[in-house]
Structure 1
Amino acid sequence: MDTIHHEVWINADRKSVFEAITAKDGLDAWWGRAVAAVPETGSLVEFDHGLGDLLRMRITDLVPGERVAWECISAFSDPTNPASDWLGHRLSFELRTERRDGVGRLLEPLVTGEEFTVLEFRHAGWTTDSRWYAFCNCAWGETLGGGLKNHCEAASG
C-alpha cells in the first residue's frame, strides 16, 4: 500500500491549526462544507462536497493539540469521484511546533514568527494502480498548502 505524505509549515500557533483540522467551523473554512464534526474519538466527521453523497470519516485517534486520525467509511460507487478509492483509507494530521532558529537560512523566508506549526499529513491505503492516487496527491498539496495554511495564517492575523 502507498501513502500520500505532505509536510506543511504554517505561521500560526498549534492550537489554531488543531481547531482548523478538528472543529466544524475550522474544517468548513478550508475543506468544503462540514456537516458534522465533533472532536472525539469514535465520532463521525461528515462533509458535503456537493457530489450527492456525504463523505464520512470516523475519528480513530485524537490527542488535543497534537494529532487527529480518520478512517474513511464512505463507499462511493461513482468512479468519477476521486473519493471512490478512499473506503478504508486512513488520514492523519500530526502537529509539532518548530522554532525559527532551527530553520536554515535558505528556508527562513517561509517563517514569519519565532515559532511556527508543522503539519505532517498522511493519507494511507492506496493501491499502486489506483486511478486517483496522483490526482489526490496534488489536490492534497493544494488544499493543505493553500486552503488550510491560508485559513490558519489569516485567522492568526
Structure 2
Amino acid sequence: MTSIHHQVWIDAPLATVYAGLATAEGLSQWWIAHQQSVIDGDTVISHNPGAGHGVVALKVLEIIPERCIRWEVISRHPPQSPASAWTGTEIRFALSRRASPGAWRGLPHEG
C-alpha cells in the first residue's frame, strides 16, 4: 500500500488545530465549505471542489480530541476527476505538541 507522510508545524494551540480539522464548521473556516451529516450511523464530512469532481465525502473513522482524526474517502468520482484516485484512501491527522523545527537547530523562530 502506498503511503504519503506530511509533517506540518503550526504555531497554534493544539485545541485550535483540532477544532479546525474535527468538524465541517472548523474545516469551512480555512478550506472550502463543508457539510456534516450522518449516513448509516457514520459521521460524514463532505465538500464540493467544483464541476467535474462531484462531492468528496469523508467518513469519520476516529476522533480522539486534540490527538487524532481519521477519515476514509467514501465518494466515487468520474475517471477523469483527480478525486477518483482517492476513493478508499485513509487520511490521518496525528496531533501533538512539539518544539518548532527551528528550535531544534538553534535557529530563530519565525512567526
Q: How much has 1:96 moved relative to structure 2?
A: 0.2
Aligned-pair Cα RMSD in Å: 2.4
- 2: CA distance, partners of 1:37 / 1:65: 22
TM-score (norm 2): 0.82
- 1:154 corresponding residue in structure 2: none
Distance, in Å, in 1 between the alignment partners of 2:6 and 2:78 is 27
User: In the alignment, which residue of structure 1 is the partner of 2:72?
Assistant: 71
Q: Secondary structure at the match of 2:29?
A: helix
Report what 1:6 is aligned to. 6
**Superposed, which structure 2 residues align to 1:19-38 within 5 Å?**
19-36=19-36
Cα distance change, pair 30–78 in 1 and its aligned pair in 2 (3 A): farther
- Aligned residue pair count: 107
- Extract structure 1 runs of 4+ deviating beyond 3 A: none
Q: CA deviation at 1:97?
A: 0.4
Which segment is superposed worse, 46-55 or 18-27? 46-55
**1:16 counterpart residue number:** 16
Which residue identity is paired with 1:44?
V
What code does the residue aligned with 2:6 have? H
Q: How does 1:19-58 map to 2 (within 5 A)?
A: 19-36=19-36, 42-51=42-51, 53-58=54-59
What fraction of aligned residue pairs are identical, expressed as a percent? 26
Partner of 1:93: 93
Distance 2:45 2:82 in 1: 18
SS of residue paired to 2:93: strand
Q: Distance between the aligned counterparts of 1:14 and 1:85, measured in 2?
A: 31
* Matches of 2:19 and 2:54, distance apart in 1: 25
Structure ranking higher in strand proportion? 1
Partner Cα separation in structure 2 for residue 3 and residue 13 of structure 1: 28
